[in-house]
Amino acid sequence: MRHSSYSYQNLLGDPQNMKIISKEDFQNFIDALIKDDSLNVIGVKSRGNKFAFAPLESAKELRLDYDVTLLPPKKYFFPQRETLFTYDLSDGFSAKNPEEIKPMVIVGVHPYDIVALLHMDEIFRETKSDPYYFKKREAAIIIGVNIQKMSKWNFSSFMGSAAIDYGYDLMLTDLGNRYAINIGSQKGEDLLSKYAKNVTLALARDIQIAGQKKREVMGMSQQKFDFPPELIPELLKDSYGKSGFWEKHSEKCLACGSCVLVCPTCYCFDVKENLDLSLEQGERIRTWDGCLLEDFAKIASGENFRATRPTRYRHRYFKKGKYLFDTFGFISCVGCGRCSSNCLPDIANPVNLFNDMYHENIDSGTQMATVAAQPDVNIQTEGDIDYVPKLATIIKKVPMTSMETLFEIKLDDGSELSHKPGQFVEVSVFGIGEAPISLSSSPTKKETFEVCVRKLGNVTTKLHRLNVGDKVGIRGPFGNGFDVGSLKGKDLLFIAGGLGIAPLRSLINYVLDNRKDFGRVYLLYGCKEPKELLFSDELVSIASKENVEFKPTVDRCPESGVWEGNIGVITTLIPQVSFDPEKTLAILCGPPVMYKFVIADLKKRNVPDDHIIMSLERRMKCGVGKCGHCQINQIYVCKDGPVFNYSKIKGVPEAL
């Protein structure tokens, strides 16, 4: 486990970088920082019998003898509420990013919170870097302090984060009437040179005492693991399906989210709109969110992929101890104990849970690993996230049914969307919000693109009220689409349910526009009633093409309706088509409930797992795997999907 192995020799730091300052001179140093109006100086202050990071008005307010703060310093880099951009609708549309931030000096950060920030750095850098987070990180100077008092809930010494020798600009160790200062960066050294007086080199006795103080920290914890915490990922791997264990531990959970909202390494967020009373100006904000909240994984159509208390409770521990470990190589818990101290029913203590899990495994005779398997870590970053959408214009609006409308859209800057079939965009209706919408047009259609929108939530309802010439915002395209190269030369069996025809239409039209590259096409399409069929005329035209077989079905036909085709669910069409399972790729898109039944029938026809391709629906707020809403076990649908090969997600419990 990264950050878990610290020899006492390493705890001493580099003697050449250790300085000494008296407490009186240190107080003057802090006051000098506060007097500089160009700096925003943050420190730990008392709040009754609690402690919190807050702006300092005087060095006398600073409490470096605290046990733990209510919230971690993460809040200054990833605030509870943050403006992503502001906009003005009064004269067309204009948007701008937040103004430049003031440099921060944060004084009194404990080592475990510094390690948490290092975790957050890697998380916010992966895939696409978050410029809002890193702009604040780059403008900050971290002055840490070694722990003097430890909360009774703290177990940071077991997580390798009770003492560190990196990640800070300056690190303080209390030596009684003076502080030892380890210099960790050029920024820290420059700050000390500019604002502090009477700073001297540490003597041998100072270095020895500082080392002893750090060693004392390692034995302070009242919380004790009964096994090496490096084995947590292995322990979790063997415990996912033990529903009784998770039900027992989550029974008293209030789903309040307190544990995740105080966590220094939780980073899930929601994106919301805040419109001015004038209805002309507004801002898009992101706010903290939590996977333990009941509707966190709920999608627009109403399905909740983590609807029960035990599954949400389990996800919290798996995300910290397994999923992030598999991606980044670290267990994303630093042992601060805030989750334990803030949980009213007292069920959030990771030490208690993992000890119980360990003993249950031992008592059941489960063979435990003695060495943690290290994952292959390959973190890639491709530029910055752009939360500000491009302005676009609706150039065509075609009502399809009472609930669905097809929009043709053109980017105002004249650029091409350059999407792949199966990708999606985030569509903004300014003043209402943003929603992920699958692209319905083929990339062979140039200059414009199309989205078919079902009227369900606030954004899509307002979108339906817009007209030709109205403006929307577009971010994307996002996600992994269909790998058209792997489809070439194959027969293609498209199976669409309801609105699932919309994203498949992008690929179908691409195939028809490049007809010689693909084999025979089968299209099975089902809806509840005839009036809900989408692209009816277009599908009839497609059916007339050579080597294309089209079969529609409806679940039912009201007495007032007219329907001459098949009546039954989508799976009743599969026996009606003749195809070679070895030469055919089945491509699925529809409501979540459809997949398990369609896959079961395809398996009866001997279709191999890797010949089944599907597009999954989840709640995708950011598009780049940061907000957490679309996560299914270790997979982020918005960046790893939404298109998946069934063979890759067959064993992922939350996928289907």
278-287 pLDDT, tens per residue?
878 899 999 9
HSE-CB of 219 using CA atoms within 13 angstroms: 5
How would DSSP label each residue in 128-190?
A: EE-HHHHHHHHTEEEEEE--SS--TT--TTTTT-SS-SSS-SEEEEE-SSEEEEEE-SHHHHH
Contact status, residue 265 vs residue 391, Cβ threshold 8 Å: no
93 domain residue, yes or no: yes
Angle formed at CA 556 by CA 574 and CA 525, multiple of 5 degrees: 35
Same domain, residue pair 515 and 463: no
Listed residues 478, 499, 528: the one ending a domain:
478
Same domain, residue pair 156 and 80: yes
Q: Output the six-digit token pair for 41.
A: 């100086």
For residue 380, pLDDT over 80 is answered with no
Same domain, residue pair 462 and 541: no
pLDDT digits (tens, 9 = 90+) for 311-351: 999 999 999 999 999 999 999 999 999 999 999 999 999 99
Cis status, amide bond into 653, omega within 30 of 0:
no
Give the model's pLDDT for residue 366: 81
Contact status, residue 41 vs residue 204, Cβ threshold 8 Å: no
Alpha carbon distance 160, 170 (integer Å):
19
223 domain residue, yes or no: no
CB 537: neighbour CB atoms within 10 A?
7
Mean pLDDT of the chain: 93
The range of the structural domain enclosing residue 464 comes to: 389-478
Contact status, residue 172 vs residue 196, Cβ threshold 8 Å: no
Give the model's pLDDT for residue 133: 95
For residue 405, pLDDT over 80 is answered with yes
For residue 77, pLDDT over 90 is answered with yes
Q: How confident is the model over 534-545, as a mean pLDDT?
A: 92
Q: Output the six-digit token pair for 309.
A: 């208390």
Same domain, residue pair 538 and 456: no
411 domain residue, yes or no: yes
Q: CA nearest 184: which of 175, 195, 198, 173? A: 173
648 domain residue, yes or no: no
Give the model's pLDDT for residue 398: 97
Of 128-137, 265-274, 298-307, 402-411, least confident by mean pLDDT is 298-307
633 domain residue, yes or no: no
For residue 615, pLDDT over 90 is answered with yes
Alpha carbon distance 391, 428 (integer Å):
9
Same domain, residue pair 167 and 18: yes
Q: Domains in the chain: how many in total?
A: 4
651 domain residue, yes or no: no
pLDDT digits (tens, 9 = 90+) for 419-454: 999 999 999 999 999 999 999 999 999 999 999 999
| pLDDT band of 8, cuts 50, 70, 90 | very low
For residue 617, pLDDT over 50 is answered with yes
627 domain residue, yes or no: no
Q: Output the six-digit token pair for 150.
A: 């430890």
Residues 6+ apart with CB under 8 A from 215: 8, 11
pTM of the model: 0.92
Alpha carbon distance 620, 640 (integer Å):
12
Same domain, residue pair 460 and 526: no
Give the model's pLDDT for residue 365: 83
Same domain, residue pair 523 and 428: no
Give the model's pLDDT for residue 96: 65
Q: How far is CA 592 from CA 305, 497, 513, 617, 655, in A?
A: 10, 10, 29, 7, 9
Sequence length of the chain is: 656
Q: How confident is the model over 572-581, as a mean pLDDT?
A: 97
The strand pair at 390-399 and 200-201 is best described as: unpaired
Same domain, residue pair 199 and 309: no
For residue 12, pLDDT over 50 is answered with no
Give the model's pLDDT for residue 404: 97
Same domain, residue pair 473 and 510: no
Same domain, residue pair 316 and 244: yes
Residue 220 exposed, middle or buried by CB count within 10 Å (0-12, 13-18, 19+) = middle
Q: Return the biggest CA–CA distance within the chain.
A: 94
Residues 6+ apart with CB under 8 A from 82: 132, 285, 286, 287
Give the model's pLDDT for residue 5: 32
Listed residues 363, 397, 430: the one ending a domain:
363
Q: Output the six-digit token pair for 96.
A: 């701008």
393 domain residue, yes or no: yes
Residue 85 exposed, middle or buried by CB count within 10 Å (0-12, 13-18, 19+) = middle
Same domain, residue pair 173 and 47: yes
pLDDT digits (tens, 9 = 90+) for 34-59: 999 999 999 999 999 999 999 999 99
For residue 10, pLDDT over 60 is answered with no
Listed residues 185, 217, 249: the one ending a domain:
217
For residue 227, pLDDT over 90 is answered with yes
Phi-psi region of 302 (alpha: psi -120 to 50; beta: other; left: phi over 0): left
Same domain, residue pair 473 and 488: no
